Amino acid sequence: MLGIEKLLEKILHRQNIPKEQREEFELDIGTKYVHGLLFYNTYFDQVARALDKNTVCLIVGGWIRDRLLNRPIKDKVDVDFIVTTDPFKIVKNLKDILGKGDIFQFEKEKNVATIIFYENNTRYRFDFSFLDISDIMKSPDLDFYDKEEAIIERIDQDLLKRDFTINAMAVVFDDALGMGATQTVLFDPSGGLEDLQKGIVKPVSIDNIISDPVRIFRGYRIAQQLDFELDKDFEKWVKKNTDIVKNSPKERIRDEILKIFDGERSADVVGSMIKAGVFQKIIPEIEEISKIGKTGSFHKFPLLKHSLKTLEYMEEFLKKKS
């Protein structure tokens, strides 16, 4: 059986060589354990002080994914937490402890509270989403071990509602706290660790994509960001269901597209979305552009390819300028 340390060594080695040269290896791992110190951030000690003593807290999402990949931490630090007490009370406590930060609250499927603050040139964003376990804790029919099992099942249910498997992993917050960090279970009900090893972006379920079609654009963006491949079955599904994005919030689509333009190989990603037929649903003029061939002696390519080449050259130019 492949131990977690050996597995991480293989994943990191694989990510450091060109995609076309990466070798596949079989994953054989049962219960997934990893040391909590891998996920530690210096501000977690302040987060711990902001939590009520009865709060169950987990770190979840992209922070777990990126630390497993050992991706460099740049000027934006985003961490998602699951908490079992009022998330807005937690961010208010955290702001008082830090003596800085902007906080706000919004509702999606559940209550989410956010704090954003800065240290020098680094922006920190901590999101706390609520996981209700009050029914479990109050149940007279469950003993301690039954409650523990029910809470774990509730955590798995929460993770299974997320977008992509590599974003649907979690660890217990207490196990990632500085000197107290210890070996911890990696919650991974959808096989995100295996997909991380394979270098693919795969939905937790198609139903989760249907419930929030903006996740289609996010999938392309995450694949670009990590230099991963989109799951082939997911790509086929997107091609057959492009109309699903038409009624999605335009502001959220805009945000995902701007993040794609801000990343590397943006022309390739936009080209892939056009090939899938999904980009045309938000910019319908592309349908007409794709019908126009070479026009005059100054145009080396058909208009659509010419436009993508322009995006590619602009990216190269800006990279040299920076």
Q: Which CATH number do you get for residue 222?
A: 1.10.3090.10
How high is the mean pLDDT of the chain? 84
Whether the CA torsion 185, 189, 71, 255 is positive or negative: it is negative
**Do 100 and 211 share a structural domain?**
no
Query: Which of 172, 155, 149, 136 lies closest to 57 in space, CA to CA?
Result: 172
**Do 204 and 183 share a structural domain?**
no
**Do 288 and 186 share a structural domain?**
no
pLDDT per residue as tens digits for the range 287-296: 666 666 666 6
**Do 205 and 193 share a structural domain?**
no
Q: State how many domains the chain has.
A: 2
pLDDT at 234 (0 to 100): 97
Report the helix count and the strand count for the chain, using DSSP H and E: 14, 10
Cβ(193)–Cβ(10) below 8 Å: no
**Do 319 and 236 share a structural domain?**
yes
Pick the last residue of a domain from 167, 198, 229. 198
Cβ(176)–Cβ(37) below 8 Å: yes
pLDDT per residue as tens digits for the range 214-251: 999 999 999 999 999 999 999 999 999 999 998 889 99
For β-strands 57-60 and 170-172, DSSP reports them as antiparallel
pLDDT at 94 (0 to 100): 97
Report whether pLDDT(62) > 90: yes
**Do 280 and 169 share a structural domain?**
no
pLDDT at 298 (0 to 100): 63
Query: Which H or E run contains 152?
Result: helix 144-159
pLDDT at 64 (0 to 100): 96
Pick the last residue of a domain from 177, 198, 219. 198
Q: What mean pLDDT comes out for the span 112-137?
A: 94
How would residue 264 be classed by pLDDT, with cut points 50, 70 and 90? confident
How would residue 195 be classed by pLDDT, with cut points 50, 70 and 90? very high
pLDDT at 143 (0 to 100): 86
**Do 106 and 168 share a structural domain?**
yes
Q: What mean pLDDT comes out for the span 266-275?
A: 86
Q: What are phi and psi of 131, to 5 degrees?
A: -120, 115
**Do 174 and 111 share a structural domain?**
yes
Report whether pLDDT(45) > 90: yes
pLDDT at 1 (0 to 100): 30
Tell me which residue range forms the domain holding 47. 1-198
How would residue 31 be classed by pLDDT, with cut points 50, 70 and 90? low
Pick the last residue of a domain from 198, 219, 244. 198
**Do 65 and 168 share a structural domain?**
yes
How would residue 283 be classed by pLDDT, with cut points 50, 70 and 90? confident
Which range among 80-94, 217-231, 298-312 shows the weakest confidence by mean pLDDT?
298-312
